[in-house]
Structure formats: C-alpha cells, structure tokens
Chains A and B, each alone.
Chain A
Amino acid sequence: MLAYVIRRTAYGFVTLLGVLFFLFVLFFFVTTPEDMARRALGDKAPPEAVRQWIVNHGYDRPLPTLLAEHYRRMLTFDFGRSDADDVPITKRLREGVGPSLSLTVPLFLLSLPIALGLALLVAFFRETYIDRVGVVLCVLAMSVSMLLYIIGGQYLIGKLLRWFPISGWDPNPAVVGRFLALPVLIGVLAGLGSQVRFYRTVFVEESGRDHVRTARAKGCGEGRVMFRHVLRNALIPVVTNVVLDIPFLFVGSLLLESFFGIPGLGSLTREAIDGNDFATLRTMVFIGAMLFIGAQIATDVVYTVVDPRVRLE
C-alpha cells in the first residue's frame, strides 16, 4: 500500500516536471524575453530600459541556466514578480486565494448536495416521465453557454429584481455575503445540468446491479434501496468527480470571478491575459496543474482504500 502511494506520488512529481518543461518551451522559446520586456514597458522604452528589465527579471542568462532557474523557482514556489507591474506574484496569490475560496467553497458545498439530490430523485423515478423530462432538461441546461447563464442571471436577478449587488467585492464580513450570493447562485445553476446527468447515469447503473436487485427482492422499499444500497455503492465515481473538481476551487472560476469583479485567482488570470503578464500566467498554469495532479493522486489513493479491487494498471 505504502509502496503504491510512493510510486503514485513519484509519477505525479515526474509529470509535474514535464508540465514545467512544457511551460518553459512555451514561455521562453516561443515568446522571447525581449518580447516580454517590450510588452511590459511599451515601445517607447529605450533599449537600456528593456535590457534592464530583462536583467531585473533574470531573463538575460543562457537558456540552460534559465531552464534550471525556472525549475528551481517554480518548485520552491518563488514565482518572482509580475511582468506587468513588478509586484511579487506570491503576494498576489496570497491576496487572491481568500476571495477565490470564499466563492468556490460555498459553490461547491451547495452544488454537490443539490446535484446529488436531484440525481437521486430522477434515478428514483427512472423509466418514468420524470426521468425523461429530467434528462432532457439536463441536456438543455448543458447546451447553454456559461456566458449566457452569467449575462442572463446578472441582468435578471441583479438588475431587474435588485436582490443583490450586480457585481463587486468587499472582504468586510458585514457585506461579503451580498457580493457572493449572485455568483454562487449562478454557478450552482450553470453546473447543475452536467452534474445531475452524470450522477443519474451512475445511480441508474448501480441500481441495476445484482446486490441492489437482491435488496429489492428482499422487500426493501425503493427509497431505502436508493439511499442504503445505491448511493453508498456509487460513491467511488462520485468521489472521483468531486476530487477532480477541487483544483478548480483554487483556480477559481475565471468567468464568474471576472464578471462579478471578485479579486480572486480567476480575476488574476484574467488580468494576466489582458496585461500580457506572462510571469503570472505561467504561475497560474503551474499551480493549476499542480493541484490537478495532487487531486489525481488523492483520488487514486482513496480508491485503493475504499475498494481494494481497484489498482493502478
């Protein structure tokens, strides 16, 4: 077991090194430091300032050194300074984690039970009109672009009904809830379609299995069967799905954050896109990948704990 965990972690680490190499090629080879300096300083900058910028950001060294440095810094979480305004990226990350988490944690905690509940409901009534209507609704909901959920929700709830501020942010606990209500609501709604459909598939499949049939044959009520037998046994795919969603808690929802003006990591990414801030963008990609790999390792380990039959091939 321990050997497996170690092996799995080691492979994850190697993958991360691969991601770093990929980023290096992308950000140092395809775009050159000279490009980055020009973007940061504007074209009026004298060559001297461009050179100084390149030196200050440490981009003036030969490629192998840069590569080694890139690895060293990323792996020690020393992300350097933003290309756009020279602020240490770590500081930005620290500032952004709070708002991001305060958006995504409630979003996550709310949408999971709602999606599971609805999926159970639909699976409970499988093969009836409720199921059919439910599935069609899910596919409909999945086919709407996220942009439309946000635009529509902001317009309807924020502007016409005036329930909450249409956007904005203030970490002051007295008002923070007002700002979060609308993005959380929209986020839950937008994600519901695909989640419900996925969980429903899992539940329906599970309820067709032998042990469930046996339970039913023994005279268990359908509700009891759903909760005791189906839900419990369907936990593995549910857990996978949930764990793989966790990285997005940190990266935040890029769209939600920037539409609603929440200064989290998603907004930071948006900012980096608009400002051609390659250093920050690179860091965000790295962190996203790191969290994703971490979550994958966690899932695999949880698998082997929950279900000894599962082993990594």
Chain B
Amino acid sequence: MEPHVVSNVVVVSIVVAAAAVWWAARRSPFWRGAARDLVRRRPWALAVVGVYVLVALLDSIAWIGPGTRPRSVVDRFFPAAFHERSYSAPLARVEFYGGAPLNHPGRHLLGTDILGRDTLHQMLKGARVALLIGGLTSLLVIPLALLFGVSAGYLGGRVDAVVFFLMSVIASIPTLLLLVALIMVLGKGPVQVCVALGLTSWVGFCRIARGETFKLRELDYVHAARALGVAEWRIVLQHVVPNLAHLVVITFALTFSGMVLSEAILAWLGLGIDGSWGQMIDQARDELSRDPAIVWNLLAAASALFGLILAVNLVGDALRDVLDPRTARERL
C-alpha cells in the first residue's frame, strides 16, 4: 500500500479511537470531572497541544492530484512550487547570498533553508514527526506494557518473576546507550527509532501497570467478583484495566516529552528521523557561524520543539495533580 494511504488510514483510526474514548470517558464522572479540572487549570497549554495535534493530523491526510505526488492538507496551504534556490531571510524579497530576486518575494514568513525550502512549512511538518515519535510509539507500547504489567501483577508467581526480570534487565541499561545500540543494530529509519524508543519507555509503563495491579488485585470488589465466579479475563478487563487508565495517561504525558527530546539527540548522532525538528536543529546549528548569522531555521525548529515540550510538560503536571495526587513525588 502507498505510504500516504497508510497514513490516511492511521489518521482515520486515530480519530475514530479518540472519539470512542471520548464517548466512553464522558460516561464516567471521574473522567468528566478530571477533564473539566484540567481545562480550568491549563487552558493555554491544552490549546497549544491541540494545535500541534491538529497540524500533525492535517499533515497526515494526503492525496494525489493535481500533480503526481501525494500532498497533505498542510502542503496544500502552501503554493505548489513554494521554494527558492537557497537561503532567504524571513519575508525577504531577494536571496540571502547574491541578492537574486526570489520566486515568491516576501511570502516566506520564516525564510527558507539552504535548499530554498520554506522554513514555516518544514516547521509545521515537523509536528507530524514529533507526534509520530511520541504518540505512535506510546500507542504501540502501552498495550504491550499493559499486557505484561497486568499479567505480572495479576497472576504473580512465575509470570511476575519473568516480567520483573525483563524489566530490571532493560531498566539497568542507561537509556541513551540502549537507544543507540538498538538503532545501530536495527538500522536507521522511522520504524527502527520508534521501536527503540518503545523498548526504552516500555519499562516505565510496565512497572506502573504491574505495581497498580498488585494493589487492585487485593481490593474487595475484585475479590468479590472472583468469589462470584466471574471469569478472570473479565475481571481484568472490567475492574483492573479501567482503574489503571489514569496512571497510563499520566505516564504517557511524562514520557512523551522525553521521547521527543531523545529523538533530537539521536538526530544529532545521525540516527534520527527525517524531517524531525531535531534534524532541523542539527542541520541549522552550523549556520550560526555564518556571517551575518542565519538564525531563522534554528529558531523556528527550536521554538516549535520547545513549545510542544513545554505545553506537554505543563499539561502532564496538571494531569498528575488532577488524576493522581499521590504520585506527585514520582519523577520520570
């Protein structure tokens, strides 16, 4: 299947899933209250995260025509051949070097890079990569981690011993080294980076799921359900997993920024994903020593990255306060 078709399908499934989760959550007073509280506490940060998500989703919906290559909704905000020959400053009318007139004078809000590509356009496209890194990885990892964590916590005994051992093995390798080793062995590419990031963040989710399941298992209503002869898998699905959800949400928010920041470092090591802000920063960092310095690329990518991480950090903090005041001490 064509990549853009896959991407479209993924977007649709994400939107459908999000709607389903929203509908399910609305029925629970706990989640409804939490959502209201969150909006009250961090309206701006939430809005910023929302904008990033929107841009990423819009950039993931693409179709062919007019023309021969698929273009996304975001691409369609920009004219078709919206590039210059090389650097131009924000809103400039001529090229940065040589002063030749531009194809689109005064229309590059944030200037262009060495290949003449519009910086704003690239910055917007970076949102998709960042959310792919943080979001998609988590979406893949959370079910797996839940599977391992919950079965370890619920079944205990040998299963728990094995899972706990696996967790301690992975957790005892310093994160950056593990990431590097994995990508070196697996090869470069977006999937490999996501797998590597997934493996390193897996432990965090798994540990929380396991610990919480331990506690939930001993609760009265679980005992009661078991006494009533409810099937074990139904107990897990109905009583355990829903009660883990808030912790998963918190962990997700806190892990997300870590993953996006890790990718920036990987990009600098030459192991990152094409089109990420980390790559943009890496490509632009040497331009500071041009004379006069070219800063718009670096600043655009850095502020886009900074904005997302800041907003996610703020939302994550608020989420933790709202959903689970007890774990305020936990540092991830």
Contact = CB atoms under 8 A, between A and B. Distances in A.
Tell me, yes or no, whether A and B come into direct contact in the complex with CB atoms closer than 8 A: yes
B130 to A, nearest CB: 12
A281 B169 contact: no
Interface in A268-311: 269-270, 273-274, 276, 278, 281-282, 284-285, 288-289, 292-293, 296
A153 to B, nearest CB: 12
Interface stretch (B82-90, B216-224, B310-318): B310-318
A115 B166 CA distance: 34
Contact of B169 (A22, A145, A255): A22
Given A139-B313, A251-B177, A26 B182 contact: yes
A27 interface: yes
Given A26-B181, A26-B182, A15 B172 contact: yes
Interface stretch (B3-11, B114-122, B151-159, B281-289): B281-289
Nearest to A144: B306
A143 B172 contact: no
A166 B282 CA distance: 18
A285 to B, nearest CB: 5
A31 B281 CA distance: 31
A171 interface: no
Nearest to B311: A143
B173 interface: yes
Contacts of B282: 147
B261 interface: yes
Interface residues of A, number: 51
B176 A15 contact: no
A145 B180 contact: no
Contact of B310 (A31, A143, A202, A284): A143
Interface residues of B, number: 43
B172 A30 contact: no
A198 B330 CA distance: 9
Given A155-B288, A237-B329, A145 B305 contact: yes
Nearest to B286: A151
A288 B306 contact: no
Interface string A130-158: 00000000011011111110010001000
Nearest to B264: A145
B310 A151 contact: no
Given A139-B310, A147-B281, A30 B185 contact: yes
Contact of A145 (B185, B186, B271, B302): B302
Given A27-B185, A202-B329, A205-B329, A269 B265 contact: no
Contacts of B185: 26-27, 30-31
Interface string A205-234: 100000000000000000000000000000
A201 B329 contact: yes
A19 interface: yes
Nearest to A29: B185
A276 B302 CA distance: 29
Contact of B172 (A19, A144, A147): A19
A281 B278 contact: no
Contacts of B172: 15-16, 19, 289, 292-293, 296
Contacts of B317: 139
A273 B180 contact: yes
A88 interface: no
A254 interface: yes
B57 to A, nearest CB: 23
Interface in B142-175: 165-166, 168-170, 172-174
Count chain A CB atoms within 10 A of each CB in B173, B298, B329 and give the residue with the most.
Answer: B173
Contact of B265 (A15, A205, A248, A255): A255
A270 B310 contact: no
B310 A140 contact: yes
Contact of A143 (B257, B270, B281, B329): B257
The list of the 10 closest CB pairs from A to B, nearest first, reads A18-B169, A143-B310, A143-B309, A288-B174, A289-B173, A15-B168, A145-B264, A30-B185, A288-B177, A289-B172
Interface of A: 11, 14-16, 18-19, 22-23, 26-27, 30-31, 139-140, 142-148, 151, 155, 159, 194, 198, 201-202, 205, 237, 241, 247-248, 251, 254-255, 269-270, 273-274, 276, 278, 281-282, 284-285, 288-289, 292-293, 296
17 contacts: A18-B168, A19-B172, A27-B185, A143-B257, A145-B265, A145-B306, A147-B265, A151-B288, A155-B288, A159-B289, A251-B177, A255-B268, A273-B270, A281-B180, A289-B172, A292-B173, A292-B174
